[in-house]
Amino acid sequence: MNGAQSIWIKDPLAIFADGAERGIVVRQGRIVELVPAGVAATTADAVFDASGHVVLPGLINTHHHFYQTLTRALPAAMDRELFPWLQALYPVWARLTPEALDLAVTVAMAELLLSGCTTTTDHHYVFPPGLEDAVDIEVAAARRLGLRVLLTRGSMNLSQRDGGLPPDSVVQDEDAILADSERVVARHHQRGEDALVQVALAPCSPFSVTSSLMRSTAALAERLDVRLHTHLAETEDENLFCEEKYGCRPLDYLEQCGWLGQRTWLAHGIFFNPREMQRLAKAKTSISHCACSNQILASGCCPVCEMEEAGVGIGLGVDGSSSNDESNLMQEVRAAFLLQRARYGVSKVSHRDALRWATKGSAACVGRPELGEIAAGKAADLALFKLDELRFSGAGDPLAALVLCGAHRADRVMVGGNWVVEGGAIPGLDVADLIRRHSAAAKRMQAG
């Protein structure tokens, strides 16, 4: 579609927006009009018949580790809790190569796109020798596929010789980390509402980096005006580690390091107490809820309703493989709905809540208020789903059906006004060849 032309996405089966019963008009990468019931679009150069589609704002993934698609369902890591899980996987991840990373990233991004995701983050913190350009590899893949990204330059500088979990070969020293963090921001970070590639800074966790690196990274992010991300409050083991090593709970430690603020979003957030939730809300620090990962590792359940009642922003993340072996954000929406419904009851959590977490809530996590919502002036990032599979037969509410009946794949996906998925496929991507090459790379890496 010509960016200067307007297109009326007309008469959707259902749409996750108020006052847009007859659809929306898109022009130059923006939503310019919502068309209510009983009227026609004010102006449109072209029409897309959406009468067979449910239209959502593009889903936004707030936590992932793309490289981990190479270790899906790895026997050595199965049926383990977080720390022993990491100990089983770090030696495998230490064998990561640039070619393997490119394949892993492409698989993860493609799967996300096909699930209706239009914006994704990634937390890459493993840098074995030869993989110094990991973020550059990810940027190139995102540009090929047309996915909007916030890529984090992750880091670890505490290895086994320092009492940490990762092997020495995958960590870097603080000076190298900070220098490369500044390089990738300068080279790739775009600003403004039309940005397709952004960069954040992301030490892996309190137990894999030094206090010095945590503080230096926060200061660098402030100077460069970029966001901050890390894992926090994922397990009780982490609480014990921080109390033993730093004499305080993880959130206290985060605040001491200069991280408690609105540029920060945190993965997991399972073990915060009520007072800590109030502190998070006051600081405008948001949480990425990773329902599948938390269930697979039996880490616990993020107290989403208490968080939101306290004023904490909530988004959704699929997390990395072995803790969640699919990069399907629509399935993550369903998992979050089911987990939180079971915890809080039918009166507290609806399918609309889960969709909101994955759209407007996730947009707040990544600092992109122009995303995640179907409204005039917002970015034209959209996911269109058909209900023509057996799983949807007989469904009465099309929007609810996406969540309750378990939608897997979008039929159409638009990023910035451009179609990047058409007919349930990514134009120009040979999926069979990608699977073949990615599977071969995974086998080589797992074999050692």
Cβ-based neighbours of 202, under 8 Å, separated by 6 or more: 123, 125, 152, 153, 154, 155, 228, 229, 230
Confidence of residue 2 (pLDDT cuts 50, 70, 90): low
Average pLDDT of span 296-316? 97
Q: One-letter amino acid identity for 27? A: R
The pLDDT, as a whole number, for residue 132 is 95
DSSP designation for 58: P
Q: What is the mean pLDDT of the chain?
A: 96
Taking residues 31-59, report their average pLDDT.
97
Residue 322, pLDDT > 80, answer no
Max Cα-Cα span within the chain: 69
Residue 237 pLDDT greater than 90, yes or no: no
State the Cα–Cα distance between residues 217 and 223, nearest whole angstrom. Answer: 10
pLDDT value, residue 3 = 57
pLDDT confidence tier of residue 40, bands split at 50, 70 and 90? very high
Quick one: average pLDDT of 5-17?
Answer: 97
Of all residues in the chain, what percent carry a pLDDT higher than 90? Answer: 92
pLDDT grade for 162, boundaries at 50, 70 and 90:
confident
- The H-or-E segment that residue 266 falls in is strand 264-268
Distance from C-alpha of 446 to C-alpha of 448, rounded to nearest angstrom: 6
Q: What is the pairing mode between strands 23-27 and 30-34?
A: antiparallel
Residue 165: band (very low, low, confident or very high) from pLDDT cuts 50, 70, 90: confident
Bridge partners (DSSP) listed for residue 287: 266, 314
φ and ψ of 200, to 5 deg: -125, 170
Domains of the chain, each with CATH number or no CATH: 6-56+379-422 (2.30.40.10), 59-365 (3.20.20.140)
d(Cα 422, Cα 405) in Å, to the nearest integer? 22
pLDDT, residue 241, reads 87
pLDDT of res. 27: 97
Q: Is the pLDDT assigned to residue 303 strictly greater than 60? A: yes
Predicted confidence at residue 164, as pLDDT, reads: 77
CA distance 313 to 122: 19
Bridge partner residues of 56 (DSSP): 383
pLDDT, tens digit, for every residue of 179-190?
999 999 999 999
pLDDT at site 1? 53
